[in-house]
Chains A and B, each alone.
Chain A
Amino acid sequence: MPHPARGATAITGLGITPMGRIFGKSATELAADAVREAIQDSGLKKSEIDGLLINAGITGSTGHGINLSLQNYLGLQDLRLLNHMNAAGSTAAQMVQYASLAIAAGMATNVVCVFADAPLVEGKSTGAAYGGPARPSRPKGMAALYAHAGFYGANTSYALATRRHMDLYGTNHDQLGAVAVAERAWATMNPRAQMREPMTLADYHASRWIIEPLHLLDCCLVSNGAVAVIVSAADRAADLAQPPVYVWGMGQGHPGDPLRAGSNWETESGAKIAAQTAFGMAGLGPQDITCCELYDCYTYTVVVTLEDYGFCKKGEGGPFVQDGKLGPGGSLPTNTGGGELSGYYMWGMTPLSEAVIQGRGQGGERQVKNDAILCTGNGGTLSYHGALILSPHRS
């Protein structure tokens, strides 16, 4: 007896703006472009949209991110579902989950989920966008220990997580580099990708340190842009313009405070918990997954995520990815659009947008054969995790 939620909803619309150093549009304007494109893409009428879920990226912490006022900007009236959500990089997967739950409960029928970000400023470096605000000379309280130690954002915390995995399990830079090289190989086939120049393992090793053990090419891009998807009931999806991409499984996992005694935050992510729920709903296991679209803020995130979903044992992620199986022609095609490392960085919308493209069979020369796609979102430092299992098949 299949789980009642399996295949009950589908992704029916997709809108993606140009990505990267795109200037001259606010996050709200980028969001509107993506939503317009998603509605046109789906074949729905704008008046059929009755739900809107909103996720601001890093721009959300500057006061210039998209927020509830987007409803009015988009001229959406009499919505039955509206929220401004933030569970960091896991939000995109979560928006699809909450949209699916609302649709299954009869609260809404066609829900737009939109992410928009515009952290890049013309004339300023990419690195400045995520470095955090300027430090006061006398920061207050215990948090000041981070400022005093010279701790700067996600690059720092992911470097620390990566280091512990390397130390415990012998994971090395040839293995982390294999992730970056595989994703770049995919990106060369994605016209939307920001980094399409071919890249070798030697290029990876030669890239400068950001914070050891992370090279520049271990780290994701930063992008201005927006992505919108539309979630609809499976019955409605069958009549629309695009091949539906059905939601087979959903799960979340959020392990908690990394500073507490006993936490293994560096090497065990929320994916461990999410995997149980999502695979359980879909009635599948890792052996059934034909393609992965994984949140890849850093190369290491891919390694630890594959372990936590059970594609290999804990600690064996390095050797698992080293043979090139994630790249074109490999046995586990992963991040087939180039991911966040070489494609574009739209938080969880990067893996989700590529999962929709692959699920529809619209990947062009990078299209892989698909029955079940694992699509993940990850936020904080391996702190927040959202999982979707998607399929071109309704059942």
Chain B
Amino acid sequence: MAEDAATRPLPEADEASKPFFDGAMLGKLMLMKCADCGAMRIPSRQHCDVCLSANTDWVEASGRGVVRTFGVMHRQYHPAFTVPYNLAFVELEEGPRIVTNIVGIGDADIRVGMPVVVDWERHEDVAVPNFRPA
């Protein structure tokens, strides 16, 4: 995983997502929290999707969650991806879901509902949140 990941398209922060990627470099999974109603959301929209407030705090998530659902890709669209590989939505303990890859487990052993914890994939100037069985 780490070997082919090195050549996958690596994210680059934009202005709106900078707190997320800055947190990632420190091993912190950052979410946006509405300063008015408290709703949590995946970055980086500027308005709360519950109350539409634009007053936002950034907070560190626990990094724990469960596999909401997953798939195993067999079609190669990009040379850096060795097929098959898994991809998943993880439902964070705080509620929102995030797209990721599950690491540290064979694709055939992944289950919906499986508890997972963030596992940072670190590169020189960016870190990406994968998840592994908790």
Task: State the A residues within 8 Å of B (CB).
Answer: 127, 131-132, 135-142, 144-152, 155-156, 159-161, 163-164, 167-168, 208-214, 257-263, 266
Convert B52-75 into 0s and 1s, putting 1 for each residue whose CB lies closer than 8 angstroms to a CB of A. Answer: 000000000000000011111111
- Neighbour of A212 across the interface among B8, B71, B77, B94, CB < 8 A: B71
What is the CB-to-nearest-CB distance from A268 to chain B, in angstroms, rounded to a whole number? 14
A382 smallest CB distance to B (angstroms):
13
Q: Could you say which interface size class chain B belongs to?
A: 35 or more
Select one of A160, A259, A260 contacting B70, CB under 8 A: A160
B98 within 8 A of partner (CB): yes
A140-B87 in contact given A146-B99, A161-B69 (Cβ < 8 Å): no
A163 to B100, CA, bound (A): 16
Query: Does B3 make an interface contact (CB < 8 A)?
Result: no
Q: Which residues of A contact B44 (CB under 8 A)?
A: 141-142
Most buried by A among B8, B14, B99, B100: B99
Docked-complex contact A152 and B96, CB < 8 angstroms:
no
**CB within 8 Å of A: which residues of B?**
8-14, 16-17, 20, 39-44, 49, 68-75, 77-78, 81, 84-85, 87-89, 94-101, 111-113, 128-129
CB B108 to nearest CB in A, in angstroms, measures 10
Chain A residues near B42: list those with CB within 8 A.
Answer: 142, 259
Q: Are B74 and A210 in contact (CB under 8 A)?
A: yes
Tell me if B16 and A135 are in contact (CB < 8 A).
no
The smallest C-beta distance from A313 to any residue of chain B, in angstroms, reads 20
Is there contact, CB below 8 Å, between A135 and B78?
yes
Q: Name the 9 nearest CB pairs between A and B, nearest first.
A: A261-B95, A144-B11, A159-B71, A167-B112, A209-B74, A164-B69, A212-B72, A141-B14, A138-B12
26 cross-chain CB contacts under 8 A: A127-B75, A131-B77, A136-B9, A138-B9, A138-B10, A140-B14, A141-B13, A142-B20, A142-B44, A144-B10, A145-B100, A145-B128, A145-B129, A149-B101, A150-B8, A150-B73, A151-B87, A156-B87, A161-B69, A164-B112, A167-B112, A208-B74, A212-B72, A257-B49, A259-B98, A263-B97
- Chain A neighbourhood of B12, CB < 8 A: 138-141, 144
Task: Write the chain A residue with the least CB distance to B45.
Answer: A142
Given contacts A141-B44, A142-B20, A150-B87, contact A260 B77 (CB under 8 A): no
Closest CB of chain A to B8's CB: distance in Å? 5
From the candidates A132, A139, A161, A164, name the one contacting B11 in the complex (CB within 8 A): A139
Residue of A nearest to B44 (CB): A142
| B98: chain A residues within 8 A (beta carbon) | 145, 259
Task: Give chain A nearest CB distance to B47 CB in angstroms.
Answer: 12
A164 to B71, CA, bound (A): 10
Shortest distance between the CB of A303 and any CB in chain B (Å): 15
Would A266 and B69 be within 8 Å (CB), given that A141-B44, A150-B81 are in contact?
yes
Q: Kindly list chain A residues whose C-beta atoms are within 8 Å of the C-beta of B97.
A: 258-259, 261, 263
Instruction: Report how far A96 CA is from B69 CA in the complex, Å.
Output: 35
Give the distance to chain B from A208, nearest Cβ to Cβ, in Å. 7
